[in-house]
Amino acid sequence: MKPSQKFLQVLISSELRTQGMRLLEHLIRKHLIFGGPVFSGPARFLWKNEIVEHDYCWILTFTREDLRDELIREAESHSVEAICMISFTPFDGSPAFQALLEEAFAGRDAAMPRPSRATRTPSPR
């Protein structure tokens, strides 16, 4: 059976675990991500041409391919980092995991508010 939706595995950066958890919660409530762990550990980065070292966190999650741009906008607007680092990898999972993701996002369209008649763009006549 061919999957009906394409999904992406996502990594989203945060400097502190509490920041990562708040961002994770916000993006789940917006139905932009599936959810997942916030990993943390020692890290090194080349930042402004210097090597910096400190503990760092990453949210590991999944999203639908069509939600990619909205996810970036929402994560960047709620992140407290100077640069919210977000990366996407094509998802190739088991049929059971694919079905779980499809089920999780199936309710997204029903959960999102629909525009009222007053805010809909009129069709050209």
The per-residue pLDDT for range 99-124, each reduced to its tens digit, is: 999 999 987 766 555 444 444 444 44
Q: Is the pLDDT of residue 36 over 60?
A: yes
Q: Is the pLDDT of residue 4 over 60?
A: yes
The tokens of 74 are what?
A: 């929402």
Q: Where are the beta strands (DSSP E) in the chain?
A: 7-14, 38-47, 50-64, 86-90
Non-local (6+) Cβ contacts of 11 within 8 A are 58, 59, 60, 85, 86, 87
User: 9: closest CA among 46, 41, 43, 35?
Assistant: 35
Q: Is the pLDDT of residue 41 over 90?
A: yes
Residues 45-89: tens digit of each pLDDT: 998 999 999 899 999 999 999 999 999 999 999 999 989 999 999
Could you tell me the pLDDT band of residue 42, with boundaries at 50, 70 and 90? Answer: very high
Q: pTM to 2 decimals?
A: 0.81
CA distances to 20, 23, 32, 123 from 39, rounded to whole Å, are 9, 13, 19, 48
Question: What per-residue confidence (pLDDT) applies to 121?
Answer: 46
